[in-house]
Structure 1
Amino acid sequence: MTLLKSIDKIEEIRESKKTKLIKLVLTVLYVTYAVIFSFCATFGIFHALQQHQINEVGVAVNVSSHVKALLQVSLDEIVRKETDQVQQMLDKIGKRMHACSNHLKSSFNDSSPQNVNENLSNTMKLIFNNSSGIVKEKLRDYSRKRLIVYQRGMTKFLNDFNKTLDKNLKSIQIKYASYLQSVATNKWFKFPQQLFMEQQLLQRNPLNKVTDNLAAFLTWLEIDKVQEIFEIKKMLMER
């Protein structure tokens, strides 16, 4: 009986060890699963939140290309209108010269042979020798009037264009600056903010916050074309 009890007790110990081992394995598996699940959930939430910020950064970087394209279209339109005005002026001058030539030919054909040389000589003197010749004076007067009208139109167009351009660029720059400031102060960039400020401190340029040198911080984050976009308005106005 004692032997049987000892055997039973040994079996119970073995069963107890197996049970504990199984529980330990199950516990390890559960903890591993919980850790993996928590990591996946955290990564999914981070990706969902960060994706919106990444998309906004991409839109901001593309603003420079879009603004440059719009400006190029406007400048091309100005050049086209100027070319059309000059071409119209040249066409009208050519038509007047052609009319004068036809008039001379008609006068020549209507004149008798005896008066051809005299009429031709008088006409040529009237046109070329007299400093206030009719054709020359008419052409000068017409060109001067057309030039004044053209200059007034171009001045008005350029003034209106500059006002509209200045207003639109100012609005874009304000929105862009506000957006960049919100990006730079985003809590996801807290660690890069600390690194940047420490780097500035080592360079003897201490900052109270990253927005004190926003352009440098964004360039440090490798967000391109920030400074160029802010200088577009200045470059265009100087041009």
Structure 2
Amino acid sequence: MPSGPPAVTPHADAQLGLAIGAAVLTTALTAVSFWLSFEALHDLASAHRLHGERAWAWPATVDSFIGIGELLILRASLLGRVDPWAIALTTAGSVGSIALNVAGVGVSDDPLDYVTAAVPPVAALLAFGVLMRQVHEFLVSRQSVLTAPPVPSAPPVTPVISTEATTEAPNITEPEEPERAPEDEPEVTEEPEPVTEPQKPQEPLTQREQIDQVVRHLYDELGNRRPATRHMVAALRDAGLPCSDGTARESRKRVETAEPHLKDLPDAIAA
């Protein structure tokens, strides 16, 4: 029967389409939000002695801190730690941008004027955060695929050995003493035993395998219950392994894929 490429399920197509659509819309929202915030800060700079190229460059001294801070937060999340400097930069950039956008309105009797001015910097902060979250999920899934251990393959050596043994046996036993042939037979049967004894030493577990081992042990430790994110993060932290929320959830997904019956266990959130 002809063998063709594996068919892609409609479920996988839907997931891929939704992921691409979310990434495109999030990127567009981020660009529009930053553009509106830049426009407002440009008008504020133009009204205070900055003109031309300097008026357009000045907003970058405020809004760029949002992008720098969230990129550093993404880097810290991938390393499984918290970066206070990244949080401080993101907070300073977002608070400063919101305050300056609102201040650019001046005195107004309509509260919606201030709301309109505050929406672009807030949207820029949230949209860029969502975009970094999507990048984080993509990098974590790609890292789990690249770190998968290779499957060892043993070459078939036995047929070559058997043919040589059959050709050499009659040449050696015929000219020499025929009485010693039965004595050599038990020695031949004992030879396969020491051949199978030496085994390759087990390679140390990879970091991903260590994480999965810690998470799998939690199901038994919690009394046949599915561990919550906080349980997995605490156990990984105690083991000295990466302990971000995304790392814990990805490990639980791999464990439950290998043992599907674990998905049916009750949650241990209240435990």
TM value normalised by structure 1: 0.29
Q: Which protein shows a greater Rg? A: 1
Instruction: Output the TM-score relative to the length of structure 2.
Output: 0.27
Q: Which has the higher helix share?
A: 1
Q: Which has the higher contact order (CA 8 A, sep 6+)?
A: 1
